[in-house]
Amino acid sequence: MWKYIGLAIFSTWKFMFAPLTGPAAGLSFMETFFSCLAGGFLSAAIFYFGSSYFMQLTVRRHANKVKRAAEKGKKIPVRRKFTKTNRRIIFIKQKIGMYAALWAFPLFLSIPVGTVITAKFYKHHRKTFPLILFFLMADCFLISSIAFYFTDFIS
């Protein structure tokens, strides 16, 4: 029981590597697949539907920081809106398109960061969240298959 819960919790933020730990924990393919899938779906739902709250929270924190600094007489430099990282994310989004972004951002950037970014760009599309879940399921199946294939291959 604790193996399943631990794997599900681990897959909420490190989804790409979580299925690789299933064979090491002595879990079967289906146990690994469904544990990682449950953690990934839970994390995607929380961060996709809570993305507007998390973005507003970031803006409020920065505003409070600037306000406190102004009260102390310090001056905080204006925060750049279009940083190098933001420029890279926008370039990738425009270059690879919506479907590839919905697949790549949650997988490579982690589910929390990836789903907040995809929600920021594509929340107005009705099919965004179901596609994120579909791609998570496909990735989980693929990574679990690879992990169990190499485990069987090595032993």
Comparing 77 with 123, which gets the higher pLDDT?
123
Portion of the chain with pLDDT greater than 90, in percent:
40
Q: For the chain, give every domain's residue range.
A: 2-154
What is the band of 13 on the pLDDT scale with cuts at 50, 70, 90? confident
Buried-state track 93-130, b at ≥16 Cβ within 10 A, e below 16: beeeeeeebbbbbbbebbbbebbbbbbebbeeeeebbe
Chain segment 72-121, per-residue pLDDT in tens: 888 777 767 778 888 888 888 888 888 888 898 888 888 999 999 899 88
Mean of all residue pLDDT scores within the chain: 88
**What's the pLDDT tens digit per position in 50-61?**
998 998 998 899
